[in-house]
Structure 1
């Protein structure tokens, strides 16, 4: 989990890759839009009830009559479960990352424009959060409460907040040395004014770019939690649940049951990463100037 997030943190921008990132922006938008629309209109698009079982139609291969993507070990239509599962998987990841982004950004802005004591305290708390294994936190929550969507949202938020805080804090520290901040201070602007009027508008771009990239990683993480039984519980359709149930029948030769939702998760995660790379071009004028040289 930490490795996946660290890879997102470490991604570099290259002026020579401007055209490639523009193509990735378009590709990411197309994939995410298609998946989001299909998931949103799942009640209209899904040919069957996603939890309806049919013992007489087990393991129908993709392309079977009436079942475009085939059926699983209980005779449930995979296309219907894939469409309905997107509503859960995407919603949990987006909502959790959005909430964590608000909390982490607020903490980073407060630390960036506060005095050294407050700033040091906030960042030490962030360091403590980094020390906790996220999967163990999720397991503890599932044991104390009960497995479900709430555990997924809290675990994602717990994982994302320290990363968002650290990245935004670094950006705020850079902005504090700019001329416009010094000018505002010389005019008597207080810390609240500096934070809201000067700091926030100038770090929105990096926040959007980074949070977008994290959604892709969290789609994978959400599916992982459901796959190990501490996320969304069956029979509710969820991509992680589909992968977990499909993995149990792979040995019997029905690879498609796990492969189809697995490829879907991979494609959506890549699409959000592509979108994040493309948005970096939009919000970073230096990369566009470098590409034109």
Structure 2
């Protein structure tokens, strides 16, 4: 019996579907789904706004920063937050902390972004190759990744510093060394999941070559996961790059860098000048959280099944 041939009450119930109230047009969770989507959208907007603010501050640092970030005045050192002319105070050399925070974003964020992009490209290429190569090639690639996982990161960074000398290049190489294994593992799992899909088998049956299948069929279907993971990885690598600089093997003084500022401020915390280290630490925390929020929000956008399960 069709819906139109049923009694009025049954027809309304059939059109409403299980778990729906007549005339509501929504399931039991219908009221919560818009809230869940609104929460995701709000999270992405807030994260993008925070990232945009810090990026704009870094790009226009010469115009926005009130003082030269490396010029100091010994007579003005350790001024507290809110001092006239120095909104966030000064450090142990009398340098304006606000100016150094603005300029420090140029190195901290730029280095992390470049390194994450490089590690994402390298890791994705390795994962795509391992996912469709024969067992010998795949085993060689993934066992090499396991070795990178097991190798102490700090020792690798110190080795780069000994060979190349301390500087930005050491930070970039250390981040690439850290991030590449994680990217490779994540992308490899996605590639293996798509390897047996119908569209891949159809491409093989039509005579598509190895590289054509990788870059024209599989890559577009896993690109969303790569973007989501790389976005969240930027936040973690900003923290890591700050740690490298804090150890003294990254950005060298007097250049402004968030990690270097934390390291220099940590030396004077015992004397009561907490804000010198606290302010750059809070900036690193906020930027890292913003990238993590953005990655989490994009994950919900790209994965509707997860979004529905949360709602």
| TM beyond 0.5 | yes
User: Among 122, 138, 141, which residue is 1:122 paired with?
Assistant: 141
Query: Which whole-Å CA distance do the structure 2 matches of 1:156 and 1:175 have between them?
Result: 28
Query: Which whole-Å CA distance do the structure 1 matches of 2:112 and 2:133 have between them?
Result: 31
Query: Which whole-Å CA distance do the structure 2 matches of 1:18 and 1:135 have between them?
Result: 41
Match of 2:210 in 1: 191
Match of 1:51 in 2: 70
Query: Which whole-Å CA distance do the structure 2 matches of 1:270 and 1:37 have between them?
Result: 18
Query: Which whole-Å CA distance do the structure 2 matches of 1:139 and 1:291 have between them?
Result: 43
Match of 1:243 in 2: 262
Deviation at 1:20, TM superposition (A): 3.6
Trace 1:106-255 onto structure 2 (pairs within 5 A). 106-255=125-274
Trace 1:269-284 onto structure 2 (pairs within 5 A). 269-284=288-303
Unmatched tracts of structure 1, length 5 or more: 1-14
Q: Decide whether the 8 Å contact of 1:22 with 1:281 is kept in 2.
A: no
Match of 2:83 in 1: 64
Which structure is higher in RCO with an 8 Å CA cutoff and minimum separation 6?
1
Query: Which whole-Å CA distance do the structure 1 matches of 2:309 and 2:258 have between them?
Result: 40
Deviation at 1:187, TM superposition (A): 1.2
Deviation at 1:19, TM superposition (A): 4.5
TM-score by length of 2: 0.87
Deviation at 1:214, TM superposition (A): 0.6
3-state SS of paired residue (2:98): helix
Match of 1:286 in 2: 305
Runs of 4+ in 1 over 4 A off after TM superposition: 15-19
TM-score by length of 1: 0.92
Query: Which whole-Å CA distance do the structure 1 matches of 2:214 and 2:275 have between them?
Result: 51
Match of 1:8 in 2: none
Q: Decide whether the 8 Å contact of 1:112 with 1:172 is kept in 2.
A: yes
Match of 2:107 in 1: 88
Q: Decide whether the 8 Å contact of 1:18 with 1:287 is kept in 2.
A: no
Query: Which whole-Å CA distance do the structure 1 matches of 2:266 and 2:36 have between them?
Result: 38
Match of 1:265 in 2: 284
Deviation at 1:61, TM superposition (A): 0.7
Q: In angstroms, what is the RMSD of aligned CA positions?
A: 1.4
Name the larger-Rg structure. Answer: 2
Query: Which whole-Å CA distance do the structure 2 matches of 1:290 and 1:131 have between them?
Result: 35
Query: Which whole-Å CA distance do the structure 2 matches of 1:180 and 1:126 have between them?
Result: 29
Q: What is the count of residue pairs matched by the alignment?
A: 278
Q: Decide whether the 8 Å contact of 1:147 with 1:229 is kept in 2.
A: yes
User: Among 31, 34, 40, which residue is 1:21 paired with?
Assistant: 40
Quickly say closer, same or farther: Cα 1:280–1:118, change in 2 above 3 A: same
Deviation at 1:18, TM superposition (A): 5.0
